[in-house]
Amino acid sequence: MGVEWVLICHGLVSVLVVVSFLCGRWPIFEATFIQRFHFFLTFGAYDYFLRFVGFVFGSKCKDAVLSVEYYCCDRPNPLLQIIYLAIISLTYYFVAKSSFVYIPGYYLSEIHRYISLSAVAVGILLFLLTSFSDPGTVKADNVSHYLSAYPYDNIIFSEKECSTCKIPKPARSKHCSICDRCVARFDHHCGWMNNCIGERNTRYFMAFLLWHFLLCLYGTVAIGLILAGRLKELKVIHILTVYYGIENSFWDLAPHVVQWLLGSYNTQILLMVFLAIVSMLLAGFFGYHAKLCLTNTTTNETFKWEEYMDWQRKLKEAKASAEALRQSISGLSTERKPLVNKWSAFFRRSPLEDVVVVKNNVYHKGFIHNIQEIISPLSTRKSFTRTKLKSS
């Protein structure tokens, strides 16, 4: 039983670390152990490490660590790209090494050897496309083009100049401090891609996420089918029921089957668990970005909207309180009004409850239109090229 428990503990710890690291800031984990662990992993642990280095090796060593951090986190670098390529190729290598010997099997035909290789190749292709495509860099010679494609909403975007590039800042664009350039319809800077995700490569990024989610799901199901096939081929159920006299019911057989699988196919099970966890994380990430695309918003804009809504709410609350105060003062100074029914007074809403802030996203023009805008970015369309020619 020792090996099984080590495997279970390993799986649980991996899930905890991966979920805390990637999803610890999600609202569902607010004020939970997962959120505290996320902050420890992202800030606390590094802070303790820096203090430890400074204390043991001196300030010069601490500066060296800080400069490594600057290179890795604040400058464009291919570190995460290399890690991605290592993860996908090593995972494929281990899957092929451990499981291809059972293909063709009871449930999977030989074609899956080639389908899996092609699916991984398409994944890497989408990765390269997202990494090395232009996200929509705004320069002096194309800024008028972007200005006509993205009008200001005068809510979260108003006429401005980029203080670094010294060119007008089109609505929905942002200056990426890592790449040191302005990017149209800026979503975020993706470390894994070593590139910004913007107007022109959001489509590749979305395809990358969806493809990798499907790829991991395919891997999980395929390994599951290989194991189910082995169970069938080796007549495990028959042996367990006939020779070992175990009751032929799911609950009686399950522990024995699991024990047999963990004993004989632990590499495949580890790979299956890993792929299942990654596919779930990718599904969440894809779902989040799909929602943004469907409502024609970007990650960058969600922060801007949060700020704007917060400010509007405070402003409206202040106005409502001032109005309530004014009314109570004028009520005191004028003659006593006829008594209000005490029940209606009891149920009367506080003026603060009426404060409603509406998010008016002018770029949201219906789901179909929004999807078209992702697939065929506005600045690549002929109508805006003509506008540019007319204006120049």
Pairwise CA distance, residues 342 & 381, whole Å: 64
Contacts for 151-156: CB closer than 8 Å, 24+ residues apart: 153/360, 153/361, 153/362, 153/363, 155/308, 155/360, 155/362, 156/301, 156/304, 156/305, 156/308
Pairwise CA distance, residues 327 & 321, whole Å: 10
Interface with Zn ion, residue 320, by CB under 5 A: no
Is residue 279 within 8 Å of residue 216, measured between CB atoms?
yes
179 is catalytic: no
Nearest CB to Zn ion, comparing residues 38 and 169: 169
Nearest CB to Zn ion, comparing residues 112 and 200: 200
Nearest CB to Zn ion, comparing residues 171 and 176: 176
Is residue 128 within 8 Å of residue 137, measured between CB atoms?
no
Distances (CA, A) of 70 to 21, 47, 191, 278: 20, 15, 13, 28
Minimum distance from CB of 84 to Zn ion (Å)? 17
Minimum distance from CB of 360 to Zn ion (Å)? 27
Minimum distance from CB of 146 to Zn ion (Å)? 12
Size of the site for Zn ion (CB under 5 A): 10
- 3-class DSSP state for residue 107? coil
- The residue from 165, 209, 223, 374 that contacts Zn ion (CB under 5 A) is 165
Region of 170 (left: φ > 0; alpha: ψ -120 to 50; beta: rest) is beta
Nearest CB to Zn ion, comparing residues 26 and 192: 192
Window 135-164: contact mask with Zn ion (x via CB under 5 A): ---------------------------x-x
Nearest CB to Zn ion, comparing residues 158 and 248: 158
Stretch that binds Zn ion, among 172-180, 239-247, 257-265, 306-314 (CB under 5 A): 172-180
Beta-strand runs (E) in the chain: 137-138, 174-176, 181-183, 188-190, 195-197
Nearest CB to Zn ion, comparing residues 137 and 279: 137
In the region spanning residues 176 to 205, those forming contacts with Zn ion, defined by CB under 5 A, are 176, 178-179, 182, 189, 196
Interface with Zn ion, residue 223, by CB under 5 A: no
Q: In sequence order, what are the residues at sequence separation of 6 or more whose Cβ sits closer than 8 angstroms to the Cβ of residue 242?
A: none
CB atoms closer than 10 angstroms to residue 334: 8
Minimum distance from CB of 305 to Zn ion (Å)? 21
Among 182, 190, 196, 216, the active-site one is: 190
Q: Which two tokens stand for residue 186?
A: 């800026």
Minimum distance from CB of 361 to Zn ion (Å)? 24
Which of the residues are catalytic? 190
* Site for Zn ion, rule CB under 5 A: 162, 164-165, 175-176, 178-179, 182, 189, 196
